Amino acid sequence: MRIGILGTGTLAAVLGEAWTRAGHEITVGGRSPEKAQALADRLGRGTQAVAPRHVVAGRDAVLLAVSWDGVEDMLRASGAYEGTLAGTPLIDPTNAVEHGVGTLLTADGDSMARRIAELAPGAHVVKAFNLFPAEQWQQTAALSAATDSSVTVTVTVTMCGDDPAALDVVSRLVRDVGAAPVVLGTLDRVRQLEEVAGFVIGLAFGGTDPHSAIPRVP
C-alpha cells in the first residue's frame, strides 16, 4: 500500500519502520522539511520526504502522527480542510489529555476523532494506536519479525471507525506491526476509547501498572 505519514516523531518513525519492512511505500512530511528528510533517510527503502499536501495525495491510508495540539496546523498544511483527504482512511492515534493526569481536554461528549473528521471533510477517520506508547510498536514489530515460531504476539489494537473498508485497511496495517486488530465500534464509541487512554495514562503516571486494574476475563 501507499502510506502517507504526517509527522516526524517517535510514533511516525516506529510505525514507518514496520510498514517499510512489510513492503509498503511510505511518504513522510511535517512542519520541518529537515526532520522529514532525516526520517525518510532513516526509513530508507525508497521513502520520500515531501510537503504535507503531497503526503496525502493518492495515498491508500494516512497516519496523523502529531500531538493533539498540532492536529489543526498539520491538517491545514495538508489541505485537509479543502477535502484532500476525502475518501482516504485517516488513522488518528492522538490523545487529547492533560499530561501526567490523563483527564480528557475535549468538551463533554466530544472526541478528538470527531474533531479530526470535521477538520478533514470526507476522510474516513479510524481511531487506532492510541493506547500504547510509541516504543511498544517497535518491540512488537521486532517480536513479529523474529524467526522463532514460538514467539506469540498478544498486543491488541482497539479501533473505532465508521467506514468498513477503512477499518479493513487499518486492520492490515495493524497486523503488519505484529498486533491484532479489534473493532470496538463506530465513531459513536470513540470517546469511550479515548477515555480508556486517559485512564491508562493517569494510572501509569501515578505509579500503577494499568494491567493490574483491568480484570482478566477467562
Q: What is the CATH number of the domain that holds 183?
A: 3.40.50.720
Is the pLDDT confidence value at 175 over 60? Answer: yes
Q: What is the pLDDT at residue 153?
A: 61
Indicate the SS3 state at residue 32.
Answer: coil
How far CA 94 is from CA of 143, 151, 194, 213, in Å, comes to 25, 30, 9, 23
Q: How many domains does the chain have?
A: 1
142 lies in a domain? Answer: yes
Please indicate, yes or no, if residue 32 is contained in any of the structural domains: yes
Using DSSP bridges, classify how beta strands 124-127 and 180-185 pair: parallel, antiparallel or unpaired: unpaired
Q: pLDDT digits over 51-64, tens only?
A: 999 999 999 999 99
Contacts of 147 (CB under 8 A, 6+ apart): none
Q: What mean pLDDT comes out for the span 32-59?
A: 97
Query: Is it the case that residue 138 has pLDDT exceeding 80?
Result: no
Q: Confirm whether 217 is domain-assigned.
A: no
Span 159-188, mean pLDDT? 97
Q: Looking at the domain assignment, is residue 38 inside a domain?
A: yes
Which is more confident, 211 or 162? 162
Instruction: Decide: 129 and 157 in contact? Cβ < 8 Å.
Output: yes
Q: Which residues pair with 159 in a beta bridge?
A: 183
pLDDT range class, residue 148, cuts 50, 70, 90: low
Establish if 62 belongs to a structural domain.
yes
CA 74 – CA 206 distance, rounded (Å): 31
**Pair 127, 161: CB distance under 8 Å:** yes
Given a cut of 90, is residue 6 above it in pLDDT? yes
The number of CA neighbours under 13 Å toward the Cβ of 123 is 33
Assigned domain for 218 exists:
no
Q: Measure the CA angle with vertex 89, ends 138 and 73; round to 5°.
A: 80
C-alpha dist (Å) from residue 211 to 96, 131, 132 = 22, 12, 12
171-175-180 Cα angle (round to 5): 80
More confident residue, 153 or 187: 187
Q: Label residue 149 by pLDDT band (50, 70, 90).
A: very low
Number of C-beta neighbours around residue 86 at 10 A? 13
Q: For residue 63, which of 105, 104, 111, 20 has the smallest C-alpha distance? A: 20
156 lies in a domain? yes
User: 135-166: string of b/e by CB count within 10 Å (b at 16+)?
Assistant: eebbebbeebeeeeeeeebebebbbbbbbeeb
Grid cell in block for residue 22: 512489510
> Is residue 90 in a domain?
yes
What residues make up the domain containing 16?
Answer: 2-211
